[in-house]
């Protein structure tokens, strides 16, 4: 009787572990979104503009804020999400990065109303997607921040 109980317990544990192992194998782990926010009203002049430190960055999907962070002293940010709860197609198609801190905070000559907003793109295209699926981290980057009033 003890061996049947032990066998049942082993089968039960294996059955519970199989979906977790499959999810890890398919890369359904983390989704990473990172980039740099510049003190500029559009992406084309951003490369020459200074960085935007201590800016609040939000990932918004529709009217919902899914994740948020603050840029560091170099204007860089990094958001990590659970891939299982945020499907890639939904994020690429229906979500944007929004900087809620007014631009005038980093440069008084820039507008104090409006927000910086950027769509998202897959880092590395198809190769990045395959690498993400195999390595369990899929990376996205902003396409370029522009002022929305």
- Residue 55 in contact with residue 101, Cβ under 8 Å? yes
What is the distance between the alpha carbons of residues 101 and 4, in angstroms, rounded to a whole number? 62
Does the global pTM surpass 0.85? no
DSSP codes joined into one string, 33-99:
EEEE-BSSSSGGGTTTSPB-TT-EEEEEETTEEEEEEE--TTSEEEEEEEGGGS-HHHHHHHEEEEE
What fold does the segment set 29-148 form as a domain?
Immunoglobulin-like (2.60.40)
How do residues 98-147 score in pLDDT, each as one tens digit?
Answer: 999 999 998 898 899 999 999 988 886 444 444 445 556 778 889 999 99
Where is pLDDT greater, at 119 or 81?
Answer: 119
Which pair of structure tokens corresponds to residue 74?
């170099």
Domain boundaries of the chain, sorted by first residue = 29-148
Would you say residue 20 has pLDDT above 50?
no
How do residues 36-77 score in pLDDT, each as one tens digit?
Answer: 999 988 866 556 788 999 999 999 988 889 899 999 999 999
Nearest to 40 by CA among 58, 55, 52, 54: 52
pLDDT at 79: 93
pLDDT at 74: 94
What is the distance between the alpha carbons of residues 55 and 38, in angstroms, rounded to a whole number? 10
pLDDT at 116: 93
């Amino acid at each position: 009787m003890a061996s049947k109980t032990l066998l049942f317990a082993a089968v039960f544990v294996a059955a519970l572990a199989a979906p977790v192992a499959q999810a890890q194998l398919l890369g359904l782990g983390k989704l990473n979104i990172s980039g740099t926010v510049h003190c500029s009203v559009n992406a084309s002049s951003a490369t020459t503009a200074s960085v935007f430190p201590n800016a609040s960055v939000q990932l918004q999907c529709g009217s919902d804020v899914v994740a948020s962070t603050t840029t560091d002293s170099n204007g860089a940010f990094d958001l990590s999400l659970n891939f299982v709860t945020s499907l890639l197609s939904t994020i690429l198609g229906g979500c944007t990065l929004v900087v809620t801190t007014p631009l005038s905070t980093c440069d008084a000559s820039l507008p104090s109303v409006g927000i910086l907003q950027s769509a998202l793109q897959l880092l590395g295209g198809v190769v990045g997607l395959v690498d993400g699926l195999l390595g369990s981290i899929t990376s996205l980057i902003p396409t370029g921040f522009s002022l929305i009033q």
